[in-house]
Amino acid sequence: MADIHYLKLVSYTKIALWVLGIVFVSLSSQAQTNKKPGTPKPILQDAKVMAQVKVVMDLINGHDFTKSARELATLRRMVPEHPIADLLDGLTDYWQYYPVYADELKAKNYRTKLNACHDKSALMLDADANSIEGTFFSMMTDMMLAKHYSDRGESVTAINYTRKSFGYIKRGFELKAKYVEFYFTTGLYDYFRIAFPEKNPVMRSFMWMFPDGDKIRGLQELEVAFSKSTFTRADAAVFLTRIYLYFENNPVKAVYYSGSISNEYPTNPHYVLGYAESLLAAKRYQEALPLIQKLQAMPEEYYTTAGLIMLGWYYELSEKDMAKANFCYVKGTELAKKQKGRLYDNLKGIALIGLARSWHQNLETKRAYAYYQRAAKLVAYPDLKREAENFRP
The CA distance from 101 to 119, in Å, is 22
Dihedral of CA atoms 252, 257, 262, 264 in degrees, nearest 10, equals 130
pLDDT, residue 159, reads 76
Higher pLDDT, residue 24 or 129? 129
> Is the pLDDT assigned to residue 27 strictly greater than 90?
no
Cβ contact 331:308 at 8 Å: yes
Average pLDDT estimate for 217-238: 93
The CA distance from 20 to 268, in Å, is 28
Cβ contact 393:358 at 8 Å: no
> Is the pLDDT assigned to residue 2 strictly greater than 50?
no
pLDDT, residue 19, reads 42
> Is the pLDDT assigned to residue 374 strictly greater than 90?
yes
* DSSP calls for 107-159: HHHHHHHHHHHHHHHHHHHHH-TT-HHHHHHHHHHHHHHHHHHHHTT-HHHHH
Name the band, by pLDDT with cuts 50, 70 and 90, for residue 38: low
Q: Among 20-24, 226-230, 334-338, which is the least confidently predicted range?
A: 20-24
pLDDT, residue 71, reads 98
The CA distance from 213 to 207, in Å, is 11
Q: Is 120 part of any domain?
A: no
Name the band, by pLDDT with cuts 50, 70 and 90, for residue 170: low
In sequence order, the 6+-apart residues with CB closer than 8 A to the CB of 221 are 176, 183, 184, 186, 187, 190
Average pLDDT estimate for 107-120: 96
Count of CB atoms situated within 10 Å of the CB of 348 = 24
Structural domain containing residue 313: 299-393
The CA distance from 116 to 47, in Å, is 24
Q: Is 333 part of any domain?
A: yes
Q: Is 379 part of any domain?
A: yes
The CA distance from 188 to 113, in Å, is 25
> Is the pLDDT assigned to residue 249 strictly greater than 90?
no
* Confidence (pTM): 0.80
Q: Domain of 380: which CATH number? A: 1.25.40
Count of CB atoms situated within 10 Å of the CB of 117 = 26
Q: Is 318 part of any domain?
A: yes
Q: What's the domain count of the chain?
A: 1
Average pLDDT estimate for 312-324: 92
Average pLDDT estimate for 329-336: 89
User: In the chain, count of helices (H) and strands (E)?
Assistant: 19, 0
Average pLDDT estimate for 229-236: 90
Cβ contact 168:138 at 8 Å: yes
Share of the chain above pLDDT 70, in %: 83
- State the average pLDDT for the chain: 83
Average pLDDT estimate for 343-349: 84
Residues, the chain: 393
Q: Is 35 part of any domain?
A: no
pLDDT, residue 206, reads 59
State the angle between helix axes of 285-296 and 269-281 in degrees (0 to 180), rounded to the nearest 10: 150
pLDDT, residue 24, reads 32
Q: Identify residue 374 by its one-letter amino acid code.
A: R
**First vs last C-alpha separation in the chain:** 17
The CA distance from 57 to 55, in Å, is 6
The CA distance from 238 to 297, in Å, is 22
In sequence order, the 6+-apart residues with CB closer than 8 A to the CB of 353 are 6, 371, 372, 375, 379, 384, 387, 388
Q: Is 229 part of any domain?
A: no
Q: Is 349 part of any domain?
A: yes
State the angle between helix axes of 182-199 and 12-19 in degrees (0 to 180), rounded to the nearest 10: 130
Higher pLDDT, residue 306 or 179? 306
Q: Is 376 part of any domain?
A: yes
**Largest interatomic CA distance in the chain:** 74
Name the band, by pLDDT with cuts 50, 70 and 90, for residue 4: very low
Average pLDDT estimate for 59-84: 95
